[in-house]
Structure 1
Amino acid sequence: MKQIDFLEKRRQFIELAKKRATGTPKELATKFNIQERVLYRLLESLRTDGLEFRYCRTIRSYYIDE
């Protein structure tokens, strides 16, 4: 994945997580047109940069509390 694509997907994830609209990891990977393992690397990079987010099984979405 190109650096620009990677940064754009990070931005999109943050927007979706704020709305609690990411879907499951599998659904999110499909939305982003990437493999699940690439998605988990993207999420790990966000955590490494200090973003705090969680996954809720009830709403089936990642979320960020602001």
Structure 2
Amino acid sequence: MRLRRQIVKIKELRAADQQELVELRSDQEALVRVVNQLTLENQQLTDPVPVVRILPTMPQPPVG
């Protein structure tokens, strides 16, 4: 009888472990998404702002 109780207890622990693994995998995916988003935002904030330069134009003769 003691062996049956141990088997039941082990099966319950295994089921709980499986559920915890499912939750951890889900949490890991969410954390990876957040880290990727924050990395992208950090890059955007630390990259120098591109300088827009106005190119000189040729003077046009007056129309008229």
Fold in common (TM above 0.5): no
**Bigger RCO of structures 1 and 2 (CA < 8 A, at least 6 apart):** 1
More helix by share: 2
Instruction: State the TM-score, normalized to the length of structure 1.
Output: 0.29
